[in-house]
Structure 1
Amino acid sequence: MRHALLAALALTLCPLPAPAQDVAGEFDYYVLALSWQPSWCRATGDDRDASECDQGSGLDFTVHGLWPQYERGWPDHCDTNERDPSRRQTQAMDDLMSPGLALYQWQKHGRCSGLSASQYYATTREAAEMVRIPAPFDDLPRDITLPPQVVEEAFLEVNPRLSPDGITVTCKAEALAEVRICLTRDLRPRDCAPDARQDCSRPRLLMEKIR
């Protein structure tokens, strides 16, 4: 009993070390996250009076972010010697994501890439330009419901380099949220690690019409 008390006291006086800080540039692959803009607008953007949710915006899949990943888990908010992007740099991403989102993505994910802000944004743009949006979804005129597998299969059909294990379709409540695509560090398609394969489990999901 005495030895157990001494051991407990030692643990109290010498606490376990804190988890290691994520290190910029140390990761295994990327996830490119593409949000279905009408779903984001209904859930979040309308309450913010986001300009990208205005009627006539015509936005379908927009870039949520390019996320460094480990084979298990992911880094975020890494320390880096790279400077935060300028307003001009974040505004230059406006055709892919709002400037506010561009800054947030840099702060949470881009700092972990080991790249400068300009390099991270250029890499995000390059990744997004590699992915084709299926024609049925780039001008959706009305709300539809469909199985998540249909969305995945449509992306696979027009992006033959992707594999079924390299793409994930996510949902929030009843609606399509995102399509996530796994890429190597040099932006080649690859299978997602198991913890990144979180496909929507609903039998059908809602795709709201484009605004």
Structure 2
Amino acid sequence: MSALRFLALILPLWPAAVPAQDAAGDFDYYVLSLSWQPAWCRTTGDRRGASECKPGSGIDFTVHGLWPQYERGYPEYCDTGERDPSRRETQAVSDLMPAGLALHQWRKHGRCSGLSAADYYAALREAARSVAVPAPFDDLARDITLPPAVVEEAFTEANPRLSPDGVTVTCKADALHEVRICLTRDLAPRDCAPDVRRDCSRPRLLMEKIR
């Protein structure tokens, strides 16, 4: 039997390679992701009839998540010995994000932190509390368009410990989507790795007024 014919017979029986599972607690730093609520309402919330999108809600940035990050890439859906959060624990952070999102963030990102669910949510709360939203973004009364760099600079001015490379803007279509801030494992500001830095290449983006 020829070598090629032998390989053709045995290769279908060879077990497929299984990607290595990301390990809980094995990461380099965090990314705190803040979503611009008016844009989320326009693209998603209005269609769902979300109560937080009603006129007079007054919401500017909301917490999307706190994500463990490698210097290149990121872990997700890690195996962990920690239990999933209870409904009470997810509802306890409802001032930061809906309970359903809190559970999703735990499953995708929190399990990779190496923390318990309670400690992960505590870290998320501490990270969010450490970042000041620049004026006038916290009371934006009309639609504006501006360069992404202006949004980043506003955050570094409002948060002097942030470096220009420690905050990055993302956009969807022509609108601001998120501001992402890089933090050490101890939640101190640090520079983002190159693959996290701004992915919004538009010269200007829309920030819709707060409802």
What range is the shorter-chain TM-score in?
over 0.9
Specify the code of the residue in structure 1 equivalent to 2:99: P
Q: Compared with structure 1, are the counterparts of its residues 17 and 41 closer, same or farther at alpha carbon in structure 2 (3 Å cutoff)?
A: same
In the TM superposition, residue 21 of structure 1 has moved relative to its aligned partner by 0.8
Partner in structure 1 of residue 165 of structure 2:
165
In the TM superposition, residue 70 of structure 1 has moved relative to its aligned partner by 1.2
TM-score (norm 1): 0.94
In the TM superposition, residue 79 of structure 1 has moved relative to its aligned partner by 1.8
State which drifts further: 200-209 or 75-84. Answer: 75-84
Identical columns (%): 76
In the TM superposition, residue 198 of structure 1 has moved relative to its aligned partner by 3.4
Specify the code of the residue in structure 2 equivalent to 1:204: R
Could you tell me how far apart the structure 2 residues matched to 1:64 and 1:118 are?
Answer: 17
Could you tell me how far apart the structure 1 residues matched to 2:7 and 2:122 are?
Answer: 53
Paired residues for 1:26-175 under 5 Å: 26-175=26-175
State which drifts further: 122-131 or 48-57. Answer: 48-57
Specify the code of the residue in structure 1 equivalent to 2:14: C
In the TM superposition, residue 9 of structure 1 has moved relative to its aligned partner by 4.7
In the TM superposition, residue 5 of structure 1 has moved relative to its aligned partner by 4.5
Please provide the CA RMSD for this pair.
1.6
In the TM superposition, residue 15 of structure 1 has moved relative to its aligned partner by 3.7
CA displacement 1:121-180 (0-9 Å, x = unmatched): 000000111111101100000111111111000001111111111111000011100000
SS, match of residue 20 in structure 1: coil
Specify the code of the residue in structure 2 equivalent to 1:57: S
SS, match of residue 182 in structure 2: strand
SS, match of residue 136 in structure 2: helix
Could you tell me how far apart the structure 2 residues matched to 1:8 and 1:35 are?
Answer: 52
In the TM superposition, residue 8 of structure 1 has moved relative to its aligned partner by 5.2
Specify the code of the residue in structure 2 equivalent to 1:96: L
Specify the code of the residue in structure 2 equivalent to 1:169: V
Structure 1: runs of 5+ lacking an equivalent: none
SS, match of residue 153 in structure 2: helix
In the TM superposition, residue 65 of structure 1 has moved relative to its aligned partner by 0.2
Could you tell me how far apart the structure 2 residues matched to 1:117 and 1:42 are?
Answer: 31
Q: Compared with structure 1, are the counterparts of its residues 11 and 119 closer, same or farther at alpha carbon in structure 2 (3 Å cutoff)?
A: same
Could you tell me how far apart the structure 1 residues matched to 2:75 and 2:84 are?
Answer: 18
TM-score (norm 2): 0.94
State which drifts further: 12-21 or 24-33. Answer: 12-21
Could you tell me how far apart the structure 1 residues matched to 2:55 and 2:87 are?
Answer: 26
Partner in structure 2 of residue 188 of structure 1:
188
Specify the code of the residue in structure 1 equivalent to 2:26: E
CA displacement 1:76-129 (0-9 Å, x = unmatched): 111222121122211111211111111111111111111111100000000111
